[in-house]
Structure 1
């Protein structure tokens, strides 16, 4: 099972790293570059928050999908990143759709298994690191 989980994560990460991800049920209109959502706005002493547009990815065969957003700022001279994700579990197979966010040394795996609706939004908060990396995998 660990090999399957790692393979799915590697495949999804490769898709995410390749630029434009495949649009699936998680596809959405991209947010205008530059403006941060209110929940990711900067704190006092931080530079203005900038965000990429929402992007989507799905695993081969569409058992799971993820929609994600990355934002950046500088706070007290350090580059920081934040990420937000929604997950879709599209297949009744006993496995959960899981997203991974990694920022610097910080990471979080977050899973969702309700096939009838997407997950609530998960927001990483701000962490030291110039960028966020996202991965999608199945876990059982």
Structure 2
């Protein structure tokens, strides 16, 4: 896969030209960072009609947030949202801290939190505990005894 940031430094034509050179050198997918609008996304598709493309959707970034169906229609086969979860978590963290500062408790925020049990399931705590149990002192002592025999 090729990647170029030439759009930000030069222009879209230069980014496309560089991507064509990458493709000639063997790249089988193209990623042009930061197209500015739907017309530019369309031009990228037109320049690479039979090449899988990648789009980078960053909230507040240079490329307008475009739904995946539209991007798929334009030949974009990989669409990434690299900051979405971070921004959502930071927003929630900020609200939680504000609530804690204002009220002295997180009680009024609980309806916007995952429950203790759901969190443990989400992070796979049962599997971690099961794996840990395989290596506790009792099991390891029995294992070592078989090796000494």
TM-score normalised by the chain length of structure 2: 0.23
Higher strand share: 1
Which entry has the higher C-alpha Rg, 1 or 2? 2
Greater RCO (Cα-Cα under 8 Å, separation 6 or more): 1
TM-score normalised by the chain length of structure 1: 0.24
